[in-house]
Amino acid sequence: MKYKTKLLVDRFASIVSQWPGVECMSLNEAALADTLDPYFALILDIYYKDSIPGPDERLRLFGEDIEAFETSGRGNKDRFLIGDIPIRLEYKLIRRMEELATIADTRLESLWLIKEKGTYSFYRLTQGEIIFSRNGWINDIRLRLAALGEEFWQSMRNAHESKMEHYLNDLGAALMQEDDFFYLISSVGFIKYACLTLFCINRRFEPSHRAYNKNVLELKELPESFRACFEGFLRSDPEITKERKYSLAQLMAKGIIAL
């Protein structure tokens, strides 16, 4: 973490930790990059029990150097600038996070709720750097999520793998119809769900979309030819035709299904 980033993190930790309802605050990995990196953002996840100050009060507490402050319609996300540093604070109700964890470990009949929204919230919950913790709740829920059973992961895999195959079929249809727009949409859907299936196979929660490329290639269990096919599929090269990319997609899907 850069020194300038740490100063801001400490500043907001000293403010947020004074709110009685807040249990924990964690730092998203996007803040670990250099502040000149286009992907840099200081993102703080704030987990709370009952209530937090409203948007106007938060703006007052954050200080006079806050610029372009805006909050989401439900008041659970604040976005603003301090100088040229983009900052985002996201407020997450502990009761909701515990409900999702319960669905994942004991109420699998409601797993469709997680299948629709994905496991990125679990990723942030388990991977964020803990800046402030009041009673150890964060450690307890991380242990629960680390112990999710085979049924959870297999069910998630099945859902993502089915969508991967669906988009692969669409990709082939778009190729035959010479439909460039639908080909592009299908390509995005295919590669997304191919990665999601691999995350499930490796018992990993999904990262942010911009981290898929790096994270998926670091997974322990991958099809033998996956890296070469994956990189070829993503390459912007006029010599790699749509037909060739479709063949690469077929090879990736076949390898993933065989795992």
pLDDT of residue 138: 95
pLDDT of residue 234: 93
Residue 156 has pLDDT above 80, yes or no: yes
Burial 96-135 (b: 16+ CB within 10 A, else e): ebeebbebbeeeeeebeebeeeebebbbbbbebeebbbee
Q: Which of 195, 207, 205, 191 is nearest to 30 (CA)?
A: 207
80 DSSP β-pair partners = 87
Average pLDDT over residues 217-233: 95
Residue 230 has pLDDT above 80, yes or no: yes
Average pLDDT over residues 126-135: 94
pLDDT of residue 3: 84
- The whole-angstrom separation of Cα 166 and Cα 211 is 24
Residue 75 has pLDDT above 80, yes or no: no
Banded model confidence at residue 34, pLDDT cuts 50, 70, 90: confident
Query: Which token pair is 85?
Result: 């540093």
- Confirm if 201 and 259 have CB atoms less than 8 A apart: yes
Dump pLDDT digits (tens) for 81-123: 999 999 999 999 999 999 999 999 988 888 888 888 899 999 9
pLDDT of residue 4: 86
Enter the pTM of the model.
0.92
Domains by residue range for the chain, with CATH: 3-146 (3.30.460.10), 150-258 (1.20.120)
- The whole-angstrom separation of Cα 28 and Cα 2 is 14
87 DSSP β-pair partners = 42, 80
- The whole-angstrom separation of Cα 259 and Cα 257 is 6
